[in-house]
Amino acid sequence: MTKAQILSLPPVSGSIDEVHFDAVGNCLWVKFVDDECQEWCGVFGAGFGTFSKAVVTDQSGHCFIISSGQGYIVDVNTRGLLQKTENDALVSAISIPERELFVACDYTRLIAYSPAGVVWESERVSVDGINFIEVSELVLKGQVWNMENWVDFVLEIDGWKYHSHYVCDF
């Protein structure tokens, strides 16, 4: 079972295998455990955001990393980079269970990724904020900000159908 943990400090040099992914400047360090219980660290270059996060999907061993906005999909077992996102202002991501899919977001749009790249992108759905609340293999539930309050949304994974009472019209 693969695992990922964001480290608050880099490990002591030489104490663990390191793999660098566009590692320039202020990087994010993530400690991984692969299916063989081997530990290694990924060093990820930053985007233009402030959020960092690591989301693992157990069934495939793939992990979605957000390093200060820049997204990466890595194979924890092979230590290989599968995708680097074009969007470098991501704030969150979630794994879709039983599928090799992740849904990520910036402040205004949803973007679905597979290990091969972007699968689907929404139009602008929020004024300035998206929260993921609950996910299953069929549906992602969350909320979008409409400048006054949080409004619920549902995203059907099959067919990528987005539903909400709020329509962002700009």
pTM over 0.75: yes
Domains of the chain: 3-126 (2.130.10.10)
pLDDT on residue 69: 95
- Whether the CB-CB separation of 30 and 7 falls below 8 Å is answered with yes
pLDDT on residue 57: 74
Largest CA distance in the chain: 53
pLDDT on residue 170: 77
Give the CA radius of gyration of the chain.
16
- Whether the CB-CB separation of 23 and 45 falls below 8 Å is answered with yes
The closest alpha carbon to 73, from 51, 53, 98, belongs to 53
pLDDT on residue 58: 66
Q: How far apart are CA 59 and CA 41, in angstroms?
A: 20
Q: How far apart are CA 83 and CA 71, in angstroms?
A: 8
pLDDT in tens, the chain (170 residues): 889 999 999 999 899 999 999 998 889 999 999 999 999 999 999 998 888 998 877 688 999 999 999 999 999 999 999 999 999 999 999 999 999 999 999 999 999 999 999 999 999 999 999 999 999 999 999 999 999 999 999 999 999 999 999 999 87
List, as own/partner pairs, every contact residues 50-55 make where C-beta atoms lie below 8 angstroms and the sequence separation is at least 24, other chains included: 51/90, 51/91, 51/92, 52/6, 52/28, 53/6, 53/92, 53/93, 54/4, 54/5, 54/6, 54/30, 55/4, 55/93, 55/94, 55/95, 55/102
